Amino acid sequence: MENIIKSYSDLSFHRKIGELIKKHSENASDIREAVKGVIDWGNVHSILDLGCGYGWFEETLDGEFDLMIGIDYLDANEAEFLKIAGSIAKKAIFKKMRLPSPIGAQPDSFDLVVSAYSLYFFPETIPEVKRVLHPKGTFLIITHSESMLEEGERFFHFKNLRKVIENFSAENGEEILKAYFKNITAIDYLNTLVFTKDDSEALVKYIEFKREFISKDADPRLVSEKMLLELRAKGVLRFNKNDRIFVVRK
């Protein structure tokens, strides 16, 4: 898990992969835009972002907030997060912390708590989220579908990676949340990544981005080689990239 977390420290590479995913996605809409449409932003003044990274979620937001706190384990994300958050919040704070652990905020503190592609690393944090979430606040989660592994699992057994995703996935997220919250809405974001025979380099970069996720299950080089062989044989590879948005209220 330590190596997986550290793989997010290369901000430049992370941004490039984001652009790569966007370029090869059949769904041209940005999932963050879909998220923005389900939040009543007029009632959001304070935001807590769990696993905030460099500010991926915040970089598409508009307006001015009173407080924005990002929690992340990587020092490398601090400067960029504060730059982005500071442009839209009166007060921006970055807290280096390995979740799950006590967040250190007063009860009912935040109008919006966000966990974008991160809650499967620390689902044990959910009770703490409930504690710090304002009674009229929203807990927003974006997570992967377990089906994202299907293409690769035709050739490799991603036991450890599947275990990580299954900590909190599109398929089991609602059931996990029901232990703490009553008002849960799930919104599907359907997408497929498509690589054609001219996209070999992009495919290798995408697999390289997943290196630390898959290395406990298979040699990333062998995964790349196998996927490239499949691409050359078929002319096109399609990877499930369905995600789910959970909008949760007390």
pLDDT digits (tens, 9 = 90+) for 201-240: 999 999 998 887 888 889 999 999 999 999 999 999 999 9
Confidence of residue 7 (pLDDT cuts 50, 70, 90): low
Q: What is the pLDDT of residues 98-157, one digit of tens each?
A: 999 999 999 999 999 999 999 999 999 999 999 999 999 999 999 999 998 787 888 888
Residue 14's pLDDT is 83
Rounded Cα distance, 242 and 94, in Å: 30
**Assigned domain for 60 exists:** yes
Residue 3 has pLDDT above 60, yes or no: no
**Assigned domain for 75 exists:** yes
Predicted TM-score (pTM) of the model is 0.91
Confidence of residue 65 (pLDDT cuts 50, 70, 90): very high
Rounded Cα distance, 97 and 127, in Å: 17
Rounded Cα distance, 65 and 74, in Å: 24
Q: What is the pLDDT of residues 11-62, one digit of tens each?
A: 788 889 999 999 999 999 999 999 999 999 999 999 999 999 999 999 999 8
Q: 160: domain range? A: 2-191+242-249
Residue 97 has pLDDT above 60, yes or no: yes
Q: 242 with 190: CB under 8 angstroms?
A: yes
- Output the furthest CA–CA distance in the chain (Å, rounded): 57
> Could you tell me which of 18, 36, 90, 54 has the C-alpha nearest to residue 245?
36
Q: 89 with 66: CB under 8 angstroms?
A: yes
**Assigned domain for 50 exists:** yes
Q: 83 with 106: CB under 8 angstroms?
A: no
Q: 57 with 117: CB under 8 angstroms?
A: no
Cα distances (Å, whole numbers) of residue 119 to 51, 186, 196: 8, 15, 32
**Assigned domain for 179 exists:** yes
Residue 63 has pLDDT above 60, yes or no: yes
**Assigned domain for 109 exists:** yes
Determine which helix (DSSP H) or strand (DSSP E) holds 71, and give its type and residue range. strand 65-72
Residue in the block written with tokens 């304002």: 134
Q: Is 46 in a helix, a strand, or coil? A: strand
Q: Provide the CB-side half-sphere exposure for 217 (13 A, CA).
A: 20
Structure tokens at 14: 């992370």
**Assigned domain for 30 exists:** yes
Query: Domain containing 73 — which CATH number?
Result: 3.40.50.150
**Assigned domain for 210 exists:** no
**Assigned domain for 199 exists:** no
Q: Tell me how many domains the chain contains.
A: 1
Residue 153's pLDDT is 82
Residue 21 burial (CB < 10 Å; 0-12/13-18/19+)? Answer: middle
Q: What is the pLDDT of residues 174-205, one digit of tens each?
A: 999 999 999 999 999 999 999 999 999 999 99
Residue 4 has pLDDT above 70, yes or no: no
Residue 6 has pLDDT above 80, yes or no: no
